[in-house]
């Protein structure tokens, strides 16, 4: 047992904080569907900076990275939630998918660009009206002379409008697999980007494949079952858990600083118990969520028997606590909190996404329930 | 960071649970319902070594570290030992015995620790008063110098183990003008003229622990019963917070796990509409909420324990966070466990009702949630 960060962990986070602190402006501006190229350039600029401090390659190889990763993710998620989500999907989901399950040729061709911040990745997993939890995916590949022809639709694909590469989950005769495609791939089309309630800087759209040709060397898999899809989903959940920490950190610190400086009745509002006690509860949720997220990450990496259940506990707790903390921050900030661009307002909008994205809190609770029932 | 327990700690937890299930848990319900202190079980705790676990071997302990002591506390709760007995153990070992151990002279240690570690003697601590709870500086019990000793006058309230204690650590004002710095601690033995305990209070929960008033009327105690430095009493009381927020709260965490297991068992056995209620989403969600609370709370108390083992000064912010979370956030899952059991949950037999009652103390005892929030605000 050791509740301290190691020197290496501290050094890594300091390096990241140094980068984030050295850039005065925030990361991603609001995504606009008619300014896709600007969004793409903005994201690539930041990915390159993050690659410079090795952020994008963290967790790609085996080793004790889980707690370091979670702590580093928290920092970035607090500073710029949209940049965080976009970077994580590109590196930690798309990149890690290649790193863990890709062929040597696939890794050699694509991975350096992703971890180096020169390429943007996206992963199509969920489908409209169904999810990988209880129904088979509708995306299917059928044999052709040159490989497979893949058809299907993927809903809400993060980074899709700006991505260079896609990994699309589906099935074919030999089993479940991911199909790799470049932007502009024959048969691949994207809907116009969505405008979201939260994560407004993230480019999201629906991806449709109509008999998209996929040669054998662009297939990751086949796998014997859909467990790999669930593993990728668990990576997504871990990202969303850390995103919750970021929401709480930003919202709590903004509200605390405001409460210390905003005067009412001749004293700072933190001196009023209505405000001070709210902040105490927010801090309690934040610190509790931090420890739970770190421990869950550690348990997953250590291969602990209860790790999947505790990881779901962490996801639910962090996502729901993020909404509560952001909501209370809004209350403390008063009208100022309701202005767009304020971390509390932004966090409040983002927090709902954390509860529905990845494994939703409802399904997570079902999995926790199933886990404890044995 | 890493969160593993050692092999020895896991084995010890298993041993404590087996011991508790055999010797104590079968007696818990009866003593809780009757509101009776279980002297037999308390002595068994002493024989097993729980009461003096962290004291040196020469004083009758096992020299265990704080994390191991916390593991033992969690194991008691997880084995189904009622919150009354574990509260008595906490007040005895940490608020009384450890204060003597940490601040006493060699003579005081030799005299009291072995008897307290074995369970031969029962200890309590008197700080709260009828008119002074959270506002410690306003205590009015006074200790006046008289000849070669002190004379105590005043009343203490809500004292766990009060009616059954053989020895009490009592906080009293030796200098009224100095507020916190005028508080000193004294060791007072049962039978000392002028010292009496009131009738046990009838409580909502933790019923097998006896709680009462302590009354001091011209109670003369010798100089050698002054504990630690004169005027250092408030700081000594504060130092028990580390134990309070780790090992003393650990049985409560364990009891939530016990409650979860009770819920799982019931959900699998209870048939409604032709199938076990465990199949229904609403039931799984309740189980999940209890599990989420347990997992969220666990690291908070072990962090305090681990830091104490490292010899670090108490981090008041982390201690307050642990107290506030375990207190305020435990009520909903404890309530959910009762609801999950339906009408049976409202009855004693299924034990979740006891945990529900016991849980209600968590936001009150050892510093209310409101005081805890005040502390956190000051530290921001």
Output the domain CATH number for residue B306. Answer: 1.20.140.10
For A9, which residue in chain B has the nearest alpha carbon? Answer: B1
Buried b (16+ CB within 10 A) or exposed e, B207-219: bbbbbbbbbbeeb
Facing A1 at nearest CB: one of B2, B264, B329? B2
- Residues of chain A contacting B287 with CB distance shorter than 8 Å: 368-369, 372-373
CA–CA separation, A298 and A66 (whole Å): 6
Nearest CA in chain B to A306: B295
pLDDT of residue A352: 95
- Give the whole-number percent of chain B exceeding pLDDT 70: 100
Q: For residue A260, which residues of chain B lie inside 8 Å, CB to CB?
A: 380
pLDDT > 80? residue A289: yes
**Is residue B41 located within the same domain as residue B100?**
yes
Minimum Cα–Cα distance from B294: chain A residue: A313
Q: Which chain B residues are Cβ-neighbours of A2 within 8 angstroms?
A: 1-2, 306
User: Is B370 found in the same domain as B259?
Assistant: yes
Could you report the per-residue pLDDT of B72-115, keeping only the tens digit for each? 999 999 999 999 999 999 999 999 999 999 999 999 999 999 99
- pLDDT at site B134: 80
What average pLDDT does this structure show over A283-292?
98
Using a CB-CB cut-off of 8 Å, the residues of chain B touching A10 are none
Chain B residues lying within 8 Å of A9, measured CB to CB: 1
Asked if B279 and B372 sit in the same domain, the reply is yes
Among B237, B265, B294, the domain boundary falls at B237
What average pLDDT does this structure show over B158-177?
Answer: 96
Q: Which residue spans of chain A are classified as CATH 2.40.110.10?
A: 121-220
- Say if residue B71 is in the same domain as residue B137: no
Q: What is the pLDDT of residue A140?
A: 95
Q: Is residue B193 part of a domain?
A: yes
Residue B133 has pLDDT above 60, yes or no: yes
Min Cα separation B269/chain A (Å): 12
Phi first, then psi, for residue A27 (nearest 5°) are -70, -90
Q: Work out the minimum CA distance from B243 to partner chain A, whole angstroms.
A: 17
Cis peptide bond N-terminal to B88, omega within 30: no
Assigned domain for B90 exists: yes
pTM for this predicted structure: 0.95
Greater confidence (A336 vs A51) lies with A51
- Disruptive mutation site among A298, A303, A369 for chain B (greatest number of B CBs within 10 Å): A369
* Cβ–Cβ pairs < 8 A, chains A and B: 141
In a domain, B2, yes or no: no
Q: Tell whether B57 and B139 lie within a shared domain.
A: no
Q: Is B296 in contact with A369 (Cβ distance < 8 A)?
A: no
The DSSP bridge pattern shows strands A140-144 and A165-172 to be parallel
Minimal Cα–Cα distance from A93 to chain B, Å?
24
> Residue A132 above 60 pLDDT?
no
To the nearest 10°, the Cα dihedral for A97, A98, A104, A108? Answer: -160
Cβ burial of B181 (10 Å; 0-12, 13-18, 19+) is middle
Indicate yes or no: CB of B1 within 8 angstroms of CB of A292.
Answer: no
Give the pLDDT confidence score for residue A41 in this predicted structure.
93
**CB atoms A280 and B372 under 8 Å:** yes
- Residue A63 clears pLDDT 90, i.e. is over it: no
- The Cα-based distances of B13 to B10, B68, B72 in angstroms read 5, 8, 6
Mean pLDDT of A171-179: 95
DSSP A335: G
Same domain, B217 and B319: no
Q: What 8-state DSSP symbol labels residue B132?
A: B
Of B5, B287, B329, the CB nearest to A369: B287
Same domain, B374 and B268: yes
Q: Which of B259, B279, B288 should we substitute to test contact with A (largest number of A Cβ atoms within 10 Å)?
A: B288
> Can you give the pLDDT at residue B61?
97
CA dihedral B126, B129, B134, B137 (to 10 degrees): -90
Q: Are B21 and B68 found together in one domain?
A: yes
Q: How many domains does chain B have?
A: 3
List chain B residues with CB under 8 Å of A289: 296
pLDDT of residue B16: 98
Q: Which residue has the higher pLDDT, A25 or B44?
A: B44
Best B2, B275, B277, B376 member to test A by mutation, with max A CBs in 10 Å, is B2
pLDDT at residue A129 greater than cutoff 70: no
A287: chain B residues, CB-CB within 8 Å: 300, 317-318, 321
Pairing between β-strand B167-173 and β-strand B123-126 as defined by DSSP bridges: parallel
Q: What is the ipTM of this complex?
A: 0.95
pLDDT of residue B241: 80
Distance from CA of B251 to the nearest CA of A (A): 19
Q: Which residues neighbour A104 within 8 Å (Cβ) at sequence distance 6 or greater?
A: none
What average pLDDT does the segment B161-190 reach?
A: 95
CATH number assigned to the domain covering A227-373: 1.20.140.10
Min Cα–Cα distance to chain B from A323, Å: 16
Q: Does B5 sit within 8 Å of A292, measured CB to CB?
A: no
pLDDT at A134 over 80: no
Residue with tokens 């009592």: B170
The pLDDT > 70 percentage for chain A reads: 97
B172 and B268 housed in the same domain: no
Q: What percent of chain A has pLDDT over 90?
A: 82
Site from B65, B263, B268, B299 to mutate, A interface, most A CB atoms within 10 angstroms: B299
CA-CA distance, B67 to A202, in Å (whole number)? 44
CB within 8 Å: A292 and B299? yes
Separate counts of helices (H) and strands (E) for chain A: 11, 10
What would the mean pLDDT of B19-26 be, rounded to a whole number?
Answer: 97
Instruction: Kindly indicate the confidence band of residue A24, based on its pLDDT and cuts at 50, 70 and 90.
Output: low
pLDDT tens per residue, range B342-375: 999 999 999 999 999 999 999 999 889 999 999 9
Does residue B1 lie in a domain region?
no
Residue A133 banded pLDDT, cuts 50, 70, 90: low
Q: Under CATH, what is the fold of the domain A121-220?
A: Butyryl-CoA Dehydrogenase, subunit A; domain 2 (2.40.110)
Pairing of strands B211-222, B167-173: unpaired
Of all residues in chain B, the one with the smallest CA distance to A257 is: B380
Question: What does the mean pLDDT of chain B come to?
Answer: 95
Intervals of CATH 1.10.540 along chain A: 7-115
User: Is residue B318 located within the same domain as residue B289?
Assistant: yes
pLDDT bracket for residue A53 (50, 70, 90): very high
Asked which of B206, B237, B268 is the last residue of a domain, the reply is B237
Interchain pair A270, B295: CB under 8 A: no
Residue-wise pLDDT for A2-14, tens only, equals 999 989 889 999 9
Residue A214 has phi, psi (to 5 degrees) of -125, 110
Residue A23 scores a pLDDT above 80 = no
pLDDT one-digit tens code per residue, A311-344: 999 999 999 999 999 999 999 999 888 887 788 9
Residues of A within 8 A of B325 (CB-CB) are 284-285, 288
Domain boundary among B187, B222, B237: B237
* Statement: residue B59 has pLDDT above 90: yes
Q: Closest residue of B to A364, CA-based?
A: B288
- Position A340 scores a pLDDT of 79
Instruction: Say if the Cβ atoms of B321 and A283 lie within 8 Å.
Output: yes
Which candidate, A137, A93, A148, places its Cα nearest to that of A115?
Answer: A93
CA B155 to chain centre: 21
Residue B193: both structure tokens together = 């003229």
CATH topology of domain A7-115: Butyryl-Coa Dehydrogenase, subunit A; domain 1 (1.10.540)
**Same domain for B260 and B370?**
yes
With contacts defined as CB-CB under 8 Å, which chain B residues touch A362?
281, 285
Write the CATH number for B54.
1.10.540.10
Asked if pLDDT for residue B246 goes beyond 90, the answer is no
| A25: pLDDT strictly greater than 70 | no
Judge whether A82 and A28 are in contact, CB under 8 Å: yes
Which residues of chain A neighbour B372 with C-beta distances below 8 Å? 280
Distance (Å, rounded) from C-alpha B249 to C-alpha B252? Answer: 5
The confidence band for B32, taking pLDDT boundaries of 50, 70 and 90, is: very high
**Per-residue confidence (pLDDT) for residue B1, from 0 to 100:** 87
CATH value at residue B180: 2.40.110.10
| Owning domain of residue B64 | 7-122
- In chain B, residues with a C-beta closer than 8 Å to the C-beta of A63 are none
B87 with B159, same domain: the answer is no
DSSP annotation of B97:
I
pLDDT of B191 reads 96
Q: Which of B295, B327, B336 to mutate to test the interface with A (most CBs of A within 10 A)?
A: B295
Residue of A nearest to B380 (CA): A256
Q: Phi, psi (5° rounding) for residue B2?
A: -155, 150
Whether A373 and B264 lie within 8 Å, measured CB to CB: yes
Chain A residues near residue B285 by CB distance under 8 angstroms: 362, 365-366, 369
């Amino acid at each position: 047992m050791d509740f301290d960060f190691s020197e290496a962990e501290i050094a890594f986070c300091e390096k990241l904080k140094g980068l984030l602190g050295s850039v005065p402006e925030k990361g991603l501006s609001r995504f606009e569907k008619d300014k896709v190229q600007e969004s793409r350039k903005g994201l690539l600029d930041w990915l390159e900076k993050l690659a410079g401090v090795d952020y994008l390659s963290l967790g790609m190889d085996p080793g004790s990275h889980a707690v370091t990763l979670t702590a580093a993710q928290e920092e970035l998620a607090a500073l710029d939630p949209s940049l965080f989500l976009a970077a994580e999907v590109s590196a930690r989901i798309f990149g890690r998918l290649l790193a863990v399950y890709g062929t040597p040729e696939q890794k050699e061709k694509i991975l350096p660009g992703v971890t180096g911040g020169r390429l943007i990745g996206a992963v199509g997993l969920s489908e409209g009206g169904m999810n990988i939890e209880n129904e088979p995916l509708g995306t299917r590949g059928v044999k052709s002379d040159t490989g497979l022809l893949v058809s299907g639709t993927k809903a809400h694909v993060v980074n899709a409008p700006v991505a260079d590469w896609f990994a699309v989950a589906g099935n074919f005769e030999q089993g479940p697999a991911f199909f790799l495609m470049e932007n502009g791939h024959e048969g691949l089309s994207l809907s116009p980007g969505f405008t979201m309630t939260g994560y407004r800087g993230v480019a999201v759209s629906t991806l449709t494949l109509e008999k998209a040709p996929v040669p054998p060397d662009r297939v990751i898999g086949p796998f014997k079952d859909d467990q790999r899809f669930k593993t990728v989903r668990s990576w997504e959940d871990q990202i969303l858990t850390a995103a919750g920490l970021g929401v709480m950190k930003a919202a709590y610190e903004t509200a605390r600083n405001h409460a210390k400086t905003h005067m009412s009745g001749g004293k700072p509002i933190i001196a009023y118990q209505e405000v001070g006690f709210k902040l105490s509860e927010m801090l309690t949720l934040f610190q509790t969520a931090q420890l739970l997220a770190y421990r869950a990450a550690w348990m997953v990496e250590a291969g602990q028997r209860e790790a999947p259940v505790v990881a779901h506990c962490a996801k639910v707790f962090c996502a729901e606590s993020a909404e509560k903390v952001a909501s209370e921050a809004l209350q403390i900030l008063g009208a100022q909190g309701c202005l767009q661009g304020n971390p509390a307002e932004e966090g409040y909008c983002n927090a709902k996404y954390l509860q529905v994205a990845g494994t939703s809190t409802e399904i997570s609770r079902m999995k926790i329930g199933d886990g404890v029932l044995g | 960071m890493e969160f593993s327990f050692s092999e020895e700690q896991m084995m010890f937890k298993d041993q404590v649970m087996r011991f508790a299930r055999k010797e104590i848990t079968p007696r818990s319900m009866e003593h809780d319902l009757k509101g009776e202190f279980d002297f037999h079980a308390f002595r068994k705790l002493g024989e097993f070594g729980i009461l003096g676990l962290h004291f040196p071997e020469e004083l009758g302990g096992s020299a265990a570290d704080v994390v191991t002591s916390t593991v033992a506390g969690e194991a008691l709760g997880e084995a189904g030992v009622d919150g009354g007995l574990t509260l008595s153990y906490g007040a005895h070992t940490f608020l009384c015995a450890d204060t003597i151990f940490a601040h006493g002279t060699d003579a005081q240690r030799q005299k009291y620790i072995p008897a307290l570690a074995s369970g031969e003697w029962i200890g309590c601590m008197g700080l709260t008063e009828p008119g002074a709870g959270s506002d410690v500086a306003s205590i009015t019990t006074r200790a006046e110098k008289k000849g070669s000793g002190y004379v105590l006058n005043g009343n203490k309230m809500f004292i766990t183990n009060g009616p059954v204690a053989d020895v009490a650590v009592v906080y009293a004002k030796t200098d009224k003008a100095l507020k916190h710095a005028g508080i000193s601690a004294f060791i007072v033995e049962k039978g000392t003229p002028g010292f009496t305990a009131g009738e046990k209070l009838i409580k909502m929960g933790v019923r097998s622990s006896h709680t009462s008033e302590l009354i001091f009327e011209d109670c003369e105690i010798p100089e050698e019963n002054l504990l630690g430095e004169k005027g250092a009493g408030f700081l000594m009381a504060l130092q028990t917070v580390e134990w309070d927020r780790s090992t003393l709260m650990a049985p409560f965490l364990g009891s939530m796990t016990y409650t979860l297991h009770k819920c799982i068992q019931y959900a699998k056995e209870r048939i409604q509409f032709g199938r076990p209620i465990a199949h229904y989403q609403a039931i799984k969600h309740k189980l999940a909420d209890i599990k989420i609370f347990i997992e969220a709370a666990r690291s908070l108390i072990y962090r305090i324990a681990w830091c104490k083992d490292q010899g670090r000064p108490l981090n008041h912010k982390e201690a307050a966070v642990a107290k506030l979370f375990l207190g305020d956030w435990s009520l909903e899952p404890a309530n959910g466990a009762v609801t999950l059991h339906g009408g049976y949950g409202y009855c004693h037999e299924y034990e979740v009702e006891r945990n529900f009652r016991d849980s209600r103390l968590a936001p009150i005892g050892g510093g209310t949630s409101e005081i805890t929030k005040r502390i956190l605000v000051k530290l921001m």
